[in-house]
Amino acid sequence: MSMKLKQGSDLKELLIDSQKRVNTTLNQAIERVASDEILSRSMRYACVDAGKRIRPALTYGSALSVGGSISNADVPAAAVELIHCYSLTHDDLPSMDDDDLRRGKPSVHKAFGEATAILVGDALQSLAFELLSSPTNPIKPVTQLKMLEILASAAGCRGMAAGQAIDFNAKGKTLTAVQLEQMHELKTGALIKAAVRLGALSHPSVKQAELDALEVYATKIGLAFQVRDDILDEISETTVLGKPQGSDLARGKPTYLSQTGLEAAVKKTDSLATEAISALDNFSSAADPLRELAEYVVRRDH
């Protein structure tokens, strides 16, 4: 397993190493638990070698920023990514967002059928909690338990699931800027915050002041992330984005763009990135990957 990540490593290295390490952890986990061949293959399809791994990079970056080790962050990073991949798999289903493309390839239900896609999402969610609660996890039990509570809460009715419910009910309606922000905070922000918190907690001697600062950082980039997604949904080509361009707007889903216009949305992401970086003022250069990630989130083109 790659051990290249170190304090002060640059962003590109962080993203590449995050991808490698998460793929290794996920491959090993699926190998260990999934004996059914079709289930195992479809789960790998949904979560291995796919995506930018921004959430795991945040978990690793957060662990580094407080002086933690990379290997302690492997399980939390993989667990967060599993929750993310389960939500993508279910969001793409015909009765949900009905997206045929994901990360540049057919979405799970296009590749394996709808029933398997539902099952894969369910199994990825279970696996996240199985990994985090495993006795082989190097983190001490009380901290594991705290991580489990954070992740379950971010995935469920106080996070992603609640955001998704608001999203359903908002189709074709106009939300206020405050409502839209709240929806994004639940749908995307909660898991991004969990990614950052789990990374920091993987270091046994993390301080409360560090956790508080990282919470502010995570809140800012969580929102920036979703606004950037809305911008990309408006301006990108399908080939770059990996899903049909303009698909959210076409479905009548409320986005920042439909409310504020492109220019204001870009300004919003810039100021959010600046605020995220400011939250790390008291951190050493060990937080540089997180600082660069904040810039990356608002500059990325897919």
- Footprint of a second copy on residues 69-108 (CB under 8 A)? 86-87, 90, 93, 95-96
> Cα–Cα distance between 299 and 285 in angstroms, integer?
21
Q: Are 158 and 190 in contact (CB under 8 A)?
A: yes
Considering the complex, state which of residue 143 and residue 255 has its C-beta at the smaller distance from a second copy.
Answer: 143
- Applying CB under 8 A, does 169 fall inside the site for a second copy? yes
Q: Report if residue 204 touches a second copy, rule: CB under 8 A.
A: no
Binding residues among 33-72 for a second copy as defined by CB under 8 A: 33-36, 38-40, 43
**# chain residues binding a second copy, by CB under 8 A:** 54
Site string for a second copy, 123-162 (x = CB under 8 A): x-xxx-xx-xxxx-----xx-xxx-xx-xxx-xxxx--xx
Q: Is 116 in the site for a second copy (CB under 8 A)?
A: yes
For position 121 contacting a second copy by CB under 8 A, the verdict is yes
Which residue lies nearer to a second copy by CB, 128 or 265?
128
Contact yes or no for 73/63 (Cβ under 8 A): yes
Helix axis angle for 190-201 and 208-235, nearest 10°, is 140
Of 123 and 297, which has the nearer Cβ to a second copy? 123
Give the pair of three-digit tokens for residue 292. Answer: 């660069």
Residues 6 or more apart in contact with residue 160 via CB below 8 angstroms: 83, 87, 154, 186, 187, 190, 191
> Given the rule CB under 8 A, which of 29-37, 54-62, 222-230, 270-278 is the region that contacts a second copy?
29-37
Nearer to a second copy, 156 or 246 (CB): 156
List of E strands, the chain: 101-102, 105-106
User: Smallest distance from the beta carbon of 195 to a second copy, in angstroms?
Assistant: 16
C-alpha span between 147 and 137 (Å, rounded): 12
Contact 33, 42 (CB under 8 A): no
CB of 223 to a second copy, least distance (A): 19
CB atoms within 10 A of CB 182: 16
Q: Does 119 bind a second copy (CB under 8 A)?
A: yes
**Two structure tokens written together for 249:** 């707007």
Residue 242 Cβ vs a second copy, minimum distance, rounded to whole Å: 22
Residue recorded with tokens 């639940």: 186
Least distance to a second copy, CB of residue 82, Å: 10
Q: What DSSP letter does each residue of 189-233 carry, written as one string? A: IHHHHHHHHHHHHTSTT--HHHHHHHHHHHHHHHHHHHHHHHHHH
CB of 83 to a second copy, least distance (A): 9
Residue 191 Cβ vs a second copy, minimum distance, rounded to whole Å:
11
110 binds a second copy (CB under 8 A): no
| Token output for 282 | 């008291």
User: What's the closest the beta carbon of residue 32 comes to a second copy, in angstroms?
Assistant: 9
CA atoms of 116 and 99, how far apart (whole Å): 16
List residues near a second copy by CB under 8 A.
30, 33-36, 38-40, 43, 86-87, 90, 93, 95-96, 113-116, 118-119, 121-123, 125-127, 129-130, 132-135, 141-142, 144-146, 148-149, 151-153, 155-158, 161-162, 164-166, 168-169
